[in-house]
Amino acid sequence: MEVREFAERVLFSTDLNEKLRGPCGALTDSDPGRAVIAPDLPGRPEVLVPGRSDNRGQFPGIDHIESDADRARLLHFLANHELIAAELMALVLLRFPEAPAQFRQGILRTLLEEQHHTLWYMKRMESLGIPFGSEPVNAFIWNHIKTMEEPIDFVSRLSLTFEQANLDYSRHYAMRFREVGDGATARIFDRIYRDEIDHVSHGLYWFRLWKNGGRSDWEEWTRRLVFPLSPMRAKGVPFNEEGRRVAGLEPDYIRELKVFSKSRGRTPTILLYNPDAEYEMGASGPWHPPAHLIRMIQDLEILPAFLCHSDDVVLVSEVPSMDHRLALGEAGFDLPQFERMEQDRQSVAAGSELHTRRLGRFQPWSWSPSAKRTYQSLNNPASDDSRSLDDCWNPSIRELFSKVWSVEFLHRYLMENNPAPGREWLMETDLVGRTVSDFQSARECIGGFRSGGHHRLVVKLPYGSAGGNQLRLWEEELSDRHWNWIRNGLARQGKLVIEPWLDRVLDFSIQLEVRGPEETRVIGWTGLRNDHRGQFQAIQVPFRGILGHHPEVARLLYGHCDGSGIPGFYDSLIADLGRALAERGYRGPAGIDAFFYRSATGRLKLKPVVEVNPRYTMGRLAMELGRRVQGGRNLSFQLIGTSQLKESGCRSFHDYDRLMRSQHPLIPDDTPSRQIKSGYVALNDPAVARTVLATLLVGQSPS
């Protein structure tokens, strides 16, 4: 029997028994025939014809396989893949009759093994009560390989992509089926796993023979994959390094694949870290960040990676090193794809695939004029973001970032809702900051607060980061330096906010998601640790764990169960705030900074709003990091600057990282998700950090 005749039967027959029947007698390859054109679909019995949409025949999942029916459905899905693999092997034999004889013999041998795999699955699923053809099937693998134009396309797409992924899946599935007591199915996966090692090895041999000799295996392979095929399709969970080494893949290739991340097809959200947005809004002309701020942004630009899914994209100046991505992967973080920006950080690099891919939302850390320009630089009309750029950023939204807006919101809210019975814990309205727009008003405001017994004051520019762009007035007599700062601030931004400096007991933040005028969701509360100047130091989660160190605050916070206490007060305030933000067009993450303080009479009181931040915040980041932490464990997210570095006695962030890892080794729990039970993680790369290191410490008591 000729190889060509056998391949035609496997590819075109609509009789399943014929498709899976071995060759009649010995096979010869003396008449390979003319090259065929790939059919739209292979021949199939009617019950196994794939749906025209890849939405049919979705993976049923490996997590719940306790019942016979669940296990059979999984095997049905995999049997279709094995059948497609056999059909694709037949297509290769017919599509490339001039390919080397040794290659064709290897493909023929693999085809016979794929037939066996399909039959093994069929027999086992039928014993579990489901015949082949009783579930919908898809043609995803067929559709993305049938377009191959030369044999190297085939080994790149099937052998080194889908079959390589099976090095992970088949071994993992064997383990899972043993866990539920199904040794018969586990043994099938064991046999398939051994065959897949040979299949990958065969494809790798020919890939190396045909590839461009000046490129590495990784470079050539990734160049040949056409979206939505990417290295993501070549790996599963857990990642099987051993099987890849046995198949002959090089260590550098394995490391690259292990840290690679990209969407498997879902339109990605594009994220950008731009913490200088409020400085930009306050600039009187074009904004050019100073050098020290640029260094800080570059150090921390990885942070949005902990806010998104693994198939999203984070824009960066430099892609994090492979060593750092591997370290984060070992800590359990599924990192997204990273794409480089131009040096001005306002446009995506010219050669980026983002200019041609279909995209989802654009989500900067904070909307701003430069963030708007970055999104426009993508020049991608195929965005899935239903909101226009003018909806995302406009003058009304800009006003929300001003501390003037936060102060006026709080003043209005307290005037409308205070005093109320039982709210002795709420700050007095006359302690809310005041807005001034000229120098004389500033002098009068300062004098008024001081004559009322509030000697220590803080003066804030409307636009600027938390704790920055503000002047603390603690001296008995104000100097020319103080008055000049006030004059310059008014000249730069037109207004100032002046408020009493209160005796803080506990700072905290409330994380929100604004989805519409009547839909603002509370994500959670976080402890906020600031220095004596009010500048951010650390976030602590969970908030209830922090309250253990502040019993008086805990009693005040949860001492009323009838809705008249602080939680009920915040329910109303947050609903009002959400409406106010949404009515100006804002949608997305937001945060409220607030604190408990000690009044002059010694009473514990609440300042419910210090600032409203219509953007991502470090508190929101800490809460998202908490998803990787074992439930109930204390988490501290901290920014270590050069001053803390000196205090630690370390000469570099790299030395600090080694010290912390030795003192707080990372310990995962024993669940399949391997959440962090305790230990330390450096979130940005300590080997290259210049001004700041973002750290996560789990399991330590908050203080």
- Could you read off the pLDDT of 216-233 as tens digits, one per residue? 999 999 999 988 889 999
Q: How far is CA 321 from CA 23, 325, 452, 658, 684, in A?
A: 51, 6, 56, 17, 10
- How far apart are alpha carbons 81 and 65 in whole angstroms? 19
Rg of the chain taking only CA atoms, in angstroms = 31
- Tokens 């196994």 label which residue? 48
Residues 626 and 608 in one domain: no
268 part of a folded domain: no
Q: Name the token pair of 593.
A: 């900074």
Residues 627 and 645 in one domain: yes
Residues 588 and 518 in one domain: yes
Q: Which of 235-239, 253-257, 321-325, 533-537 has the lowest mean pLDDT?
A: 533-537
270 part of a folded domain: no
276 part of a folded domain: no
Question: Quick one: pLDDT band at residue 607, thresholds 50, 70, 90?
Answer: very high
49 part of a folded domain: yes
CB 577 within 8 A of CB 409: yes
Question: Quick one: pLDDT band at residue 53, thresholds 50, 70, 90?
Answer: very low
Residue 393 vs residue 168, higher pLDDT: 168
- How far apart are alpha carbons 225 and 139 in whole angstroms? 18
Q: Which of 445, 479, 500 is at the close of a domain?
A: 500
* Closest among 86, 81, 102, 67 to 23, alpha carbons compared: 86
Q: Which of 566, 596, 614 is at the close of a domain?
A: 614
Q: Is the peptide bond preceding residue 320 cis, with omega within 30 degrees of 0?
A: no
269 part of a folded domain: no
Whether residue 273 has pLDDT greater than 50: yes
Q: Which of 349, 377, 395 is at the close of a domain?
A: 395
Residues 609 and 462 in one domain: no
Residues 421 and 368 in one domain: no
Summarize the confidence of residues 69-97 as an average pLDDT.
Answer: 96
Strand partners, 527: 508, 540
273 part of a folded domain: no
CA angle 634, 524, 520 (to 5 degrees): 170
Residues 25 and 106 in one domain: yes
Q: In 10 A of CB 509, how many CB atoms?
A: 28
- Tokens 């008003």 label which residue? 441
Q: Parallel, antiparallel, or unpaired: how do β-strands 676-682 and 588-598 relate?
A: unpaired
CB 692 within 8 A of CB 640: yes
Q: Name the token pair of 601.
A: 């009479």
* Closest among 504, 690, 473, 703 to 597, alpha carbons compared: 504
Summarize the confidence of residues 3-12 as an average pLDDT.
Answer: 96
Whether residue 210 has pLDDT greater than 70: yes
Summarize the confidence of residues 301-329 as an average pLDDT.
Answer: 94
CB 575 within 8 A of CB 521: no
Q: What is the 3-state secondary structure (H, E, C) of 552-617?
A: HHHHHHHCCCCCCCHHHHHHHHHHHHHHHHHHCCCCEEEEEEEEEEECCCCCEEEEEEEEEECCCC
Q: Is the peptide bond preceding residue 672 cis, with omega within 30 degrees of 0?
A: no
Whether residue 237 has pLDDT greater than 90: no
Residues 79 and 164 in one domain: no
Q: What are phi and psi of 692, to 5 degrees?
A: -155, 145
Residues 121 and 12 in one domain: yes
Q: What share of the chain is helix, strand, coil (3-state, %, to 5)?
A: 45, 15, 40
Q: Name the token pair of 91.
A: 């297509």
Give the pLDDT score at 55: 43
Whether residue 285 has pLDDT greater than 50: yes
Residues 621 and 610 in one domain: no
Average pLDDT over the chain reads 91
Residues 168 and 228 in one domain: yes
* Residues 6+ away with beta carbon under 8 Å from 351: none
- Tokens 């973001």 label which residue? 385
Residues 414 and 371 in one domain: no
* Closest among 485, 500, 530 to 639, alpha carbons compared: 530
- Give the pLDDT confidence of 468-499 residue by residue, as tens digits: 588 999 998 999 999 999 999 999 999 999 99
Residues 635 and 520 in one domain: no
Q: Parallel, antiparallel, or unpaired: how do β-strands 667-668 and 588-598 relate?
A: unpaired
> Considering the chain, what percentage of its residues have pLDDT values greater than 90?
76
Q: What's the domain range around 31?
A: 1-147
267 part of a folded domain: no
224 part of a folded domain: yes
Number of domains in the chain: 6
Question: Quick one: pLDDT band at residue 702, thresholds 50, 70, 90?
Answer: low
Summarize the confidence of residues 41-69 as an average pLDDT.
Answer: 80
Whether residue 54 has pLDDT greater than 50: no
Q: Is 210 exposed, middle or buried (0-12, 13-18, 19+ CB in 10 A)?
A: middle
